[in-house]
């Protein structure tokens, strides 16, 4: 969407003049998950939407704090809260997943990139980060972060993934149902 902004001035002689100030293009986007919508009350707790490894022997991911507030409210990026993600890959894997009900068509509005922000911790073990997207029951398409030490980066970092990377692995982006 292209937008043009104009400057309007009230002149000393009581006339009004306008002048083109700038134009900008705003990218179309879809919100996959708005972490601001989670709260500490059923059914809107973060752990009711995202499935982690709680209660399993093989998946060591935990995506909520041990007590309220469930979401992270101190270490945030551009909002009031974020999703805490703790992991321990010692003889395990760590994965959190979310079934999608909307948006299912990731090609709406001409969107071509998945953008997510993460913040690691230098005290973590260096583990590869990945995002997977699947159409049920087809196998998931997996894209790994280029930096093998991304989990150690202690500043908010944007990770952009071309949606074509998932489509090239067989995911139908018009009916996307699941993300990890």
Please tell me the predicted confidence (pLDDT) of residue 2: 42
Largest CA distance in the chain: 78
Of residues 95 and 110, more confidently modeled: 95
Quick one: pLDDT at residue 103? 62
**Cβ–Cβ < 8 Å for 46, 83:** yes
3-state DSSP helix/strand/coil % of the chain, to nearest 5: 10, 30, 60
Reading the block at residue 59, the tokens are 């998946």
**Domains of the chain, residue spans:** 36-96, 97-180
pLDDT averaged over every residue in the chain: 84
pLDDT, residue 30, reads: 78
Region 124-146 average pLDDT? 88
| 48-92 per-position pLDDT tens digit | 999 999 999 999 999 999 999 999 999 999 899 999 999 988 889
Q: What is the CA radius of gyration of the chain?
A: 21
Here the contacts of 42-51 (C-beta below 8 Å, separation 24 or greater) are 45/70, 46/70, 46/71, 46/83, 49/98, 50/83, 50/96, 50/97, 50/98, 51/96, 51/97, 51/98
Convert the pLDDT of each residue in 96-134 to its tens digit: 998 887 667 888 888 899 999 999 999 988 889 999 988
> What per-residue confidence (pLDDT) applies to 11?
58
Question: What's the rounded Cα separation, in Å, for the pair 83 and 77?
Answer: 10
Q: Please compute the mean of the pLDDT values over residues 21-48 and round it to a whole number.
A: 80
> What pLDDT is stored for residue 1 in this prediction?
41
Reading the block at residue 18, the tokens are 């306008």
Secondary structure in 3-state letters for 43-54? CCCHHHHCECCC
Q: What DSSP state is assigned to residue 59?
A: B
């Amino acid at each position: 969407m292209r937008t043009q902004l104009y400057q309007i001035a009230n002149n000393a002689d009581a006339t009004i003049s306008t002048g083109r100030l700038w134009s900008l293009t705003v990218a179309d986007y879809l919100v996959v998950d708005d972490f601001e919508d989670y709260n500490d009350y059923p059914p809107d707790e973060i752990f009711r939407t995202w499935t982690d490894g709680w209660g399993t022997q093989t998946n060591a991911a935990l995506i909520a704090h041990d007590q309220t507030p469930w979401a992270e409210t101190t270490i945030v990026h551009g909002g009031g809260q974020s999703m805490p993600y703790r992991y321990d890959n010692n003889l395990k894997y760590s994965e959190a997943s979310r079934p999608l009900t909307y948006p299912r068509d990731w090609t709406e509005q001409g969107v071509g990139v998945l953008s997510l922000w993460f913040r690691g911790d230098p005290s973590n073990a260096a583990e590869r980060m990945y995002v997977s997207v699947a159409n049920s029951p087809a196998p998931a398409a997996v894209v790994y972060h280029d930096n093998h030490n991304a989990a150690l980066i202690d500043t908010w970092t944007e990770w952009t993934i071309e949606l074509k990377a998932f489509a090239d692995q067989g995911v139908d982006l018009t009916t996307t149902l699941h993300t990890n």
